[in-house]
Amino acid sequence: MIKDKFGREVRITRERLNHIIITHPEMKEFENELSEVLRNPELVKKSVYDEEVLLYYKYFTSIKKYITVVVKIDTYSFMLTSYITDRIKEGDIIWRK
């Protein structure tokens, strides 16, 4: 469990970490940064596809890209996936640094 920027507990399960590594193998070396993205994002947006999904973005100068962590907000919030991107998706801004 990791507390996000809003004090919400977010579960990061081994199953989800395995999913991330399989679908986004470039994320393997950034597994430790997931908690940093959740705790200290630069931007949090609501998904345009699911109002219970938030996207947390943090820019890392070492890779000159954002690491995005996607979280399903529910009674028990949990991480769906994470990936590296150079652009921010559409959606309502929930919080900006």
- What type of residue is 36? E
Q: What pLDDT was estimated at residue 93?
A: 96
Cβ-defined contacts of 60-65 (< 8 Å, 24+)? 60/30, 60/33
Integer Rg of the chain from CA:
12
Q: What pLDDT was estimated at residue 91?
A: 87
Q: What pLDDT was estimated at residue 69?
A: 98
CB of 91 closer than 8 Å to CB of 49: no
User: How many angstroms from the chain centroid is the CA of residue 31?
Assistant: 11
Residues of the chain with pLDDT under 50: none
The domains of the chain are located at: 2-91
Task: Give tens-digit pLDDT for 24-46.
Answer: 999 999 999 999 999 999 999 99
